[in-house]
């Protein structure tokens, strides 16, 4: 039994660990003194490996410290630390989200407010004060029609213009280059059965808000529907008993409203190639029609001297008086306001809530004729930049006039005039307000009372420049 038991060293007491044995050969020579060779080798090894080992040593120390921290941290403390970290992350995310939502809500609120004002017809963006007269050299004239241009439309993407003329033709133009993209030639009278297109003067046209359909109306009581992208003929609507003088697509739909010299308004569904209904009320030929997004349209009643608002769903109408002569043209400014012009030389702005014009300019384009026989220049066309305070009017006095509507559309102030020779028979602002297009001819759109020989039948593309911020600051 005693053979297997070793005696404890005397130096080791209870609770102490035995000291590690020293290896004399590692640091001492044969006589117990350090060897010079070993000392020198140790110095060399230390100097060479110092830089290489620092990083490893630091990494090991760091790892050991982390291990010690992990060992020292209890599970409960770890849960608490992670929970705090998670809550902090949540707080930061919520703050960022709140900032983004506040910014988005401001934008959405602004847009919703504009939409509500637009629906109510009270949106009036102040654009007129920024506009400056264009340089005459920048105004382009596009020629291609043989006779007077009577109507035009701009595609929603503002890349193309469609124009029509008394020569019965339709031309598609590219805005940027001013080149003809396509032409639908007119036919001669009596060739209606074999000619695809118009064989009589085209008086009006409209394009759907998605740019899919183009509608044109002529003196032959016909409405033609075309595929705008390809100019392919789709349908022919018949039913009017007089010349078709006004066309308008309801915004956001393919519902088409038409007006005629037969004193009626008709409603069509282009998708289904179908007639819907007819409305009566005017006492004379209807000369113009327009509509926006609501299920209603406005018309100019020619020599019955009335402007009418037609509520299609209710089959009712509102009648407005104010012109002293035949009303030749009308355009909506927004859902509640419109502008009209006539042979009495007046430009009138209307509100659907008042039976009389809220503002009127007499002799808007001056007088014509000799001494003692002077009469106002006819206002042959009007246009409005939708939901803004800017409108335009055209006549035969070689001037196209831009106007600024006052607050609440009360009052019209002249902005500047643009020289244009001939009858300005049709005008349209681009949706963005970057340019205005005017269709000009030697004759009036609706007749041949007189002819301006020096006029050129074509389209004028007029850029609308705005004042720079630097100019505003200087002013």
Q: What is the pLDDT of residues 244-283, one digit of tens each?
A: 999 999 999 999 999 999 999 999 999 999 999 999 999 9
Q: What's the DSSP call for residue 30?
A: T
**Cβ atoms within 10 Å of 388's Cβ, excluding its own:** 19
Is 391 a member of any domain?
yes
Residue 148 corresponds to which tokens in the numbers above? 């007077």
Is 85 a member of any domain?
no
Is 294 a member of any domain?
yes
Is 119 a member of any domain?
no
Residue 289 corresponds to which tokens in the numbers above? 């029609």
Task: Report how far residue 420's alpha carbon sits from residue 12's, in angstroms, rounded to the nearest whole number.
Answer: 120
32-46 b/e with 16+ CB inside 10 Å = b? eeeeeeeeeeeeeee
Containing 233, the helix (H) or strand (E) segment is strand 232-237
Task: Report how far residue 175's alpha carbon sits from residue 67's, in angstroms, rounded to the nearest whole number.
Answer: 73
87-97, pLDDT tens digit by residue? 888 888 888 88
User: Using an 8 Å Cβ cutoff, are 441 and 422 in contact?
Assistant: yes
User: Using an 8 Å Cβ cutoff, are 188 and 179 in contact?
Assistant: no
Q: Which domain holds residue 186?
A: 128-474
Task: Report how far residue 154's alpha carbon sits from residue 145's, in angstroms, rounded to the nearest whole number.
Answer: 17
106-131 b/e with 16+ CB inside 10 Å = b? eeeeeeeeeeebbeebebbbebbeeb
Low-confidence ranges of the chain (pLDDT < 70): 1-71, 102-124, 371, 468-475
Residue 107 corresponds to which tokens in the numbers above? 């934008």
Q: Which residue spans within 55-113 are E strands per DSSP?
A: none
- Residue 79 has what pLDDT? 83
Total residues belonging to the chain:
475
- Residue 110 has what pLDDT? 61
**Predicted TM-score (pTM) of this structure:** 0.74
User: Using an 8 Å Cβ cutoff, are 212 and 220 in contact?
Assistant: no
Helix, coil or strand: residue 475: coil
- Residue 256 has what pLDDT? 97
- Residue 75 has what pLDDT? 83
- Residue 91 has what pLDDT? 86
Question: Which residues have CB under 8 Å from 191's CB, separation 6+?
Answer: 199
Is 38 a member of any domain?
no
Looking at 268-384, list the stretches that DSSP marks H as alpha helix, in order from N- to C-terminal side: none
User: Using an 8 Å Cβ cutoff, are 214 and 162 in contact?
Assistant: yes
CA distances from 110 to 104, 107, 116, 407 (A): 10, 5, 10, 20
Task: Report how far residue 163's alpha carbon sits from residue 184's, in angstroms, rounded to the nearest whole number.
Answer: 10
Place of tokens 């819907």: 276
- Residue 144 has what pLDDT? 95
- Residue 449 has what pLDDT? 85
Q: What's the DSSP call for residue 388?
A: B
For the four alpha carbons of 185, 189, 194 and 196, in that order, the dihedral sign comes to positive
- Residue 104 has what pLDDT? 63
In CATH, what number is assigned to the domain containing residue 184?
2.130.10.10
Is 93 a member of any domain?
no
* Number of domains observed in the structure of the chain: 1
Task: Report how far residue 76's alpha carbon sits from residue 325's, in angstroms, rounded to the nearest whole number.
Answer: 92
- Residue 51 has what pLDDT? 46
Is 68 a member of any domain?
no
Task: Report how far residue 60's alpha carbon sits from residue 86's, in angstroms, rounded to the nearest whole number.
Answer: 29
Residues 241, 244, 246, 247, Cα dihedral to 10°? 100
Write the DSSP assignment of 390-417 as a string of letters: EEEEE-SSSEEEEEEE-GGG--EEEEEE
Pair type for strands 296-300 and 160-165: unpaired
Is 86 a member of any domain?
no
Task: Report how far residue 98's alpha carbon sits from residue 217's, in angstroms, rounded to the nearest whole number.
Answer: 55
Pair type for strands 375-376 and 223-227: unpaired
């Amino acid at each position: 039994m005693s053979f297997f038991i070793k005696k404890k060293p005397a130096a080791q007491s209870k609770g102490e660990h035995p000291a590690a044995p020293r290896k004399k050969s590692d640091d001492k020579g044969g006589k117990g003194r350090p060897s010079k060779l070993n000392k020198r080798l140790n110095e060399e090894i230390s100097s060479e490996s110092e830089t290489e080992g620092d990083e490893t040593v630091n990494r090991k120390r760091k790892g050991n410290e982390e291990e010690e921290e992990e060992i020292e941290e209890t599970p409960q403390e770890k849960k608490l630390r992670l929970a705090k970290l998670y809550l902090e992350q949540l707080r930061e995310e919520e703050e960022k989200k709140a900032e983004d939502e506040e910014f988005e809500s401001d934008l959405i609120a602004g847009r919703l407010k504009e939409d509500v004002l637009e629906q109510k017809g009270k949106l009036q963006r102040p654009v007129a004060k920024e506009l400056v007269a264009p340089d005459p050299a920048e105004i382009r004239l596009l020629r291609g029609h043989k006779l007077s241009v009577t109507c035009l439309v701009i595609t929603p993407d503002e890349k193309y213009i469609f124009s029509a003329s008394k020569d019965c033709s339709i031309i598609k133009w590219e805005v940027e280059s001013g080149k003809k993209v396509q032409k639908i030639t007119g036919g001669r009278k009596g060739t209606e059965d074999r000619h695809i297109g118009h064989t009589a003067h085209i008086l009006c046209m409209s394009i759907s808000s998605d740019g899919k359909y183009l509608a044109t109306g002529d003196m032959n009581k016909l409405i033609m529907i075309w595929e705008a992208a390809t100019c392919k003929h789709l349908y022919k609507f018949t039913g009017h008993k007089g010349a078709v003088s006004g066309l308008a697509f309801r915004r956001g739909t393919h519902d088409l409203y038409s007006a005629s010299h037969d004193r009626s308004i008709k409603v069509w569904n282009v998708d289904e190639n179908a007639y819907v209904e007819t409305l009566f009320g005017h006492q004379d030929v209807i000369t113009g029609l327009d509509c926006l997004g609501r299920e209603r349209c406005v018309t100019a009643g020619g020599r019955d001297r009335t402007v009418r608002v037609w509520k299609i769903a209710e089959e009712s109408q509102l009648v407005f008086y104010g012109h002293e002569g035949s009303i030749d043209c009308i355009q909506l400014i927004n859902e509640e306001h419109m502008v009209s012009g006539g042979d009495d030389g007046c430009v009138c702005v209307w509100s659907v809530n008042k039976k009389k014009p809220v503002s009127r300019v007499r002799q808007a384009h001056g007088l014509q004729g000799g001494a003692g026989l002077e009469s106002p220049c006819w206002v042959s066309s009007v246009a409005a930049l939708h939901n803004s305070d800017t409108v335009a009017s055209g006549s035969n006095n070689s001037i196209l006039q831009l106007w600024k509507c006052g607050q609440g559309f009360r009052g019209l102030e002249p902005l500047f005039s643009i020289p244009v020779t001939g009858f300005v028979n049709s005008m349209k602002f681009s949706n963005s307000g970057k340019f205005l297009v005017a269709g000009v001819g030697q004759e009036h759109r609706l007749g041949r009372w007189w002819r301006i020989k020096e006029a050129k039948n074509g389209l004028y593309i007029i850029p609308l420049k705005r004042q720079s911020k630097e100019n505003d600051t200087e002013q």
